[in-house]
Amino acid sequence: MDLRVSGHGLREEEIDAVAMAVTAVVVNTMGGMSSSSIDMLTQLRKRRALAAHCRSAGLRGHMQIVAACAAYVENKVTHYRMPLPVEQVIAFVLYRWASGETYGSDTSAFGIGRATGLQAVRDVTSALLQAYPDAIKWPVGRRRAHILRAFRDKGFPKCFGAIDCTHIYIDKPAGAPSDNYYDRKQKFSVQAQVVVDLDLRILDVHIGYPGSVLDVRVLHNSQLWRRAEAGELFDAPPENLSHGVVTRGYLLGDNGYPVACPWIVQPYGGIDQHPNQERFNTRQKVARGCVERAFGRLKCMWRLFLHTHKTNLETLPQQFVAVCTLHNILLDAGIDFDENLLWEVDEKDIRRRVDLGIVGNGAGGQRQSTNMDGDLLRDALRDRLALM
């Protein structure tokens, strides 16, 4: 299939919009723009000269995605009310995820009706997950060795990654018990559990539980839990630590996992801590900070999942996994991220960090632990850090 844009009727405005989406607004073309897609496209036209190399990189990334997804989407678009070029359909969906705009405003900019837009999102989501089935996977081989080495350098030998949950804010759900989706920030949300490495690459994602559910319950009902308990995940060569502890792998987590399992190492609770415990907590927080940075890059690039929006609870999980897939693809392509997107100006003209939906469970106090193996592993890592 010839994927040259000129041969498929994709307008220059749409090319710019997709280039912006795929490069994740490297030159901050998204920041401070009007919510109107027409204004956005006008601004994009004015800013073409800012970074021609970024635009061409975005187009290369877009065309790579089109090439991978085309075969899956082509069979679908022929059944639309008005058949559309594959590039136009994929461009629209990427733009919607990146801009976070409503169907009413962004469909018109691409010459797509609302009903067709809804179908296009379902089709492109399905195509991405079929075209890139291994974009999100547990590390093996060289990738695993790289991850283990990077965490060892941070003071955590045999660590595979860091785990946390983010809330995706939604309008009050229709046809579902809305109280279940009401979280600790008094917003309606859906939870997504994610494991990432120090390169911010997503290794595992589990999404779908209502916002009121605690992190530990999400974990217990995830495939990650089942695979870890079956011994399928943490299979590194054994590492001998103090206190007779031997580990083959674990994750770093916050206090949302107080008694979850022996393979999540969380900080020490309480306020009266030994200096070595304080040192451990500081180093552990720095290392697991990769989760928050990953959420920042993911949600600020694909802004539909940053702000409250109306959604279909049946298709939201697949859409979120699709943008996690794109997140890894862009990391592999070396696409930079403009950290200015982590900030916004509120209605009082005060600059503040965007809300990444990291709610927490209020479990940071002193606790009576029943997770003896996990506590022994944490103590052994604490003692190791004290000698560094």
Residues with Cβ within 8 Å of 220's Cβ and at least 6 positions away in sequence, in order, are: 260
In degrees and rounded to multiples of 5, residue 219 shows phi and psi of -60, -50
Closest CA to 288 of 278, 280, 276: 280
Residue 343 zone, left/alpha/beta (φ > 0; ψ -120 to 50; rest): beta
Average pLDDT, the chain: 81
- Does the pLDDT at position 38 exceed 50? no
Helix axes of 86-99 and 52-77: crossing angle, nearest 10 degrees: 120
Residue 240 zone, left/alpha/beta (φ > 0; ψ -120 to 50; rest): beta
Residue ranges of E strands in 211-316? 239-240, 246-247, 250-252, 264-265
- Most confident option among 27-36, 75-84, 188-197, 325-334: 188-197
Give me the residue spans of the domains in the chain. Answer: 5-131, 141-314+339-386
Of 125 and 85, the one with more pLDDT: 125
Residue 205: which pLDDT band, with cuts at 50, 70 and 90? very high
Query: Taking residues 34-62, what's their average pLDDT?
Result: 44
Q: Which amino acid is at 341?
A: L
Closest CA to 331 of 185, 203, 212: 203
Q: What is the pLDDT of residue 102?
A: 66
Residues with Cβ within 8 Å of 212's Cβ and at least 6 positions away in sequence, in order, are: 179, 180, 181, 182, 183
Strand partners, 329: none
Of 1 and 44, the one with more pLDDT: 44
Residue 106: which pLDDT band, with cuts at 50, 70 and 90? low
- Does the pLDDT at position 7 exceed 80? no
Q: What is the pLDDT of residue 189?
A: 93
| Cα-only R_g, the chain | 22
Query: Taking residues 311-324, what's their average pLDDT?
Result: 94
Tokens at residue 323, please? Answer: 């943008």
Cα–Cα distance between 358 and 168 in angstroms, integer?
Answer: 9
Mean pLDDT is lowest, of 74-88, 264-278, 328-342, for 74-88
Residue 103: which pLDDT band, with cuts at 50, 70 and 90? low
Of 49 and 311, the one with more pLDDT: 311
- Most confident option among 9-13, 24-28, 175-179, 367-371: 175-179
246-247 and 239-240 as β-strands: parallel, antiparallel, unpaired? antiparallel
